Amino acid sequence: MKKLINAVEDVVAESVEGFAWAHADIVEMRTDPLFVVRRGGAREGKVGLVSGGGSGHEPLHAGFVGLGMLDAAVPGTVFTSPTPDHVLPALAAADSGRGVLAIVKNYTGDVLNFETAIELADADGIEVATVVVDDDVAVKDSLYTAGRRGVAGTLAVEKIAGAAAERGDDLQAVAATAARVVANVRSMGVALTACTVPHVGRPSFDLPDDEVEIGIGIHGEPGRRRIPVAPADDITAMLVEPVVEDLALTSGESVLLFVNGMGGTPLSELYVVYRQARRLLEDRGVVVARSLVGNYVTSLDMQGASVTVLRLDDELTALWDAPVHTAALRW
Amino acid sequence: MALDVAWARRWARESAAAIAAAKDELMELDRQIGDADHGENLNRGFQAVVAKLDAQPPPGTAADGDPAASPLIADVLKLVATTLMSSVGGASGPLYGTAYLRAAKVTGLSVLDAHGVVALLEGALEGITSRGKAVPGEKTMVDAWTPAVEAAIATADAGGTPEDVLEAAATASAAGAVATVPLLATKGRASYLGERSIGHEDPGAASSAIILRAAVRAAGATEAAA
């Protein structure tokens, strides 16, 4: 394993420290426990937004703290959700008295730890609403699994709910908007290589050079099936089709098309995927009204990509377009 | 040797040592069907438990009324619970944390008899199932704890000693962990693999068996069997 790290156990803290120094105009870092909060803390009169989870998905979530998005982000150790006593102070720091929306990715560890933290926050008199993001169509039947995973669609939930909070919506309204995004966003990913978790020191799964994993999550876990390497257009079709089918998109509908890199894939390849995804959507008469391409919800150094489609209406489009000023996303 | 508060402390330390020794093996099990962090996380949690025990005065040496010197097994279990919950993270932090918290329903006992051991194990299983909503057969730690509780009840009802009950539970949990190999995971991270989860031992069931075997060693009853 070759990585630009010092000691394995210091990776997260040192990375967050560097992040906070680099973006000191936007965020502040708190220690013991470690979390990132919007510079100046909670905004008076605004519903707070908090997310978090295991590290290794940068820029998610700390990179999305700032104007128009999150108020606090809680990084756990690599691929491991933070603990309840770690989440609780972030919920408190984001609360200005109008309550807090917790945005939780549907992974068992994230759900259990946030659930406990929210019980503790409730006991402290902090009102918390929760939205669980579960956009990954690779996981089919929640009867036989832990349910769909929360992956790249989380970015859309954080951006749009953040804009709703910024314009002054109350907690119930922000939570309802976030839930509407969750109901209309779907993702599917592919891995060309496994990632290497620093404390493991070797790839998370063994993937032969001539095969790819279709239907991966964002924790280096293997996907649903393994296929021989194929041209980008063919692989992109395998990502786009289940997403479009699951959303039951019809001709004339508008969408956000988001092609996300897993951390180890160059932008040039992500644009190749975007090109084909866009063609496939337009072939069906779907209007790609908004786009995003880049490494936003990553899996350390994994090579791969995911395709996320969000069905838009006028309100969601306006909220997506609203100003955002964070380390990783701004317009 | 009585299953008293000193045993509970030894159990925590034995668990920490056993988890540290099995860390790489647990990470490899988790790498195969999960995200490879189970050994690392659990080791971090149990090392934190040992640090807390080390920071406490040994029982009986502190001033009267000092809670740190409590003679109750439940207090040791609660210390383990809160420490694991606040240092492990992932799914296993809340699951093991809740297990030890509910195991502490042996509140008020300073020495466990055979049925006291059963109550402790039943509490742990109840904690895991209420937090994780898993049932037997889903390839989770429940598949180690359920046979452990069943074996404990049978041994206690047959008149076994507390040590016999622990031994039966540890043996059954180890068999339960191995029996997760052919199962299809339907809960937790491994469930995303579907059919491909078959053929691998569940890391949570494996660590559960390690912790229950540590309880036997802490009792000093069947050192050879470990």
Q: Would you call A217 an interface residue with chain B, using a CB distance cutoff of 8 Å?
A: yes
Residue among A153, A186, A192 at smallest CA distance from A304: A192
Q: Which is more confidently placed, B112 or A225?
A: B112
Residue A283, pLDDT score: 98
Q: Which two tokens stand for residue B36?
A: 């490879």
Q: What is the average pLDDT across A28-51?
A: 97
Alpha-carbon distance of A146 to A136, in angstroms, equals 12
> pLDDT at position B194, please?
83
Beta carbons of B187 and B136 less than 8 angstroms apart: no
A86 is catalytic: no
pLDDT digits (tens, 9 = 90+) for A57-79: 999 999 999 999 999 999 999 99
Residue type, B27: M
Q: Which domains does chain A have, with CATH numbers?
A: 10-183 (3.40.50.10440), 185-318 (3.30.1180.20)
Q: CB A108 to CB B86 under 8 A?
A: no
Residues of chain B with pLDDT under 50: 222-226
Is A80 in the B-facing interface, judged by CB distances under 8 Å? yes
The string of pLDDT tens digits covering residues A101-154 is 999 999 999 999 999 999 899 999 999 999 999 999 988 765 677 889 999 999
Q: Of A15, A17, A90, A20, nearest to A327 (Cα)?
A: A20
Q: Name beta bridge partners: A288.
A: A255
Closest chain A residue to B28 measured between Cα atoms?
A200
Which residues are CB-contacts of A44 (< 8 A; sequence separation ≥ 6)? A96, A97
pLDDT value for A204: 80
* pTM given for the model: 0.90
**Looking at residue B64, what is its pLDDT?**
53
Catalogue all structural domains in chain B, each as residue range(s) with its CATH number: 3-57+70-220 (1.25.40.340)
A190, two tokens: 């592919």
10 Å Cβ neighbour count for B93? 29
For A301, residues 6+ apart whose C-beta sits below 8 A from its C-beta are: A193, A195, A196, A263, A264
For range A214-224, the mean pLDDT: 80
Q: Categorize the per-residue pLDDT at A52 as very low, low, confident or very high, splitting at 50, 70 and 90.
A: very high
Per-residue tokens: A214: 């279709």
Q: Is A64 on the interface with B (CB under 8 A)?
A: no
pLDDT at residue B37, rounded to an integer: 86
**Residue A84 above 60 pLDDT?**
yes
Share of chain A above pLDDT 90, in %: 88
Residue A65 to residues A61, A170, B89, B93, B120, Cα–Cα distance (Å):
7, 19, 22, 26, 44
Tell me which of A260 and B225 has the higher pLDDT: A260
Mutate which: A1, A10, A11, A83, vs B, most B CBs within 10 A: A83
Stretch A248-269: mean pLDDT? 98
Active site residue A219: yes
The tokens describing A168, both together, are 């002054």
- Helix (H) / strand (E) element for A259: namely strand A254-261
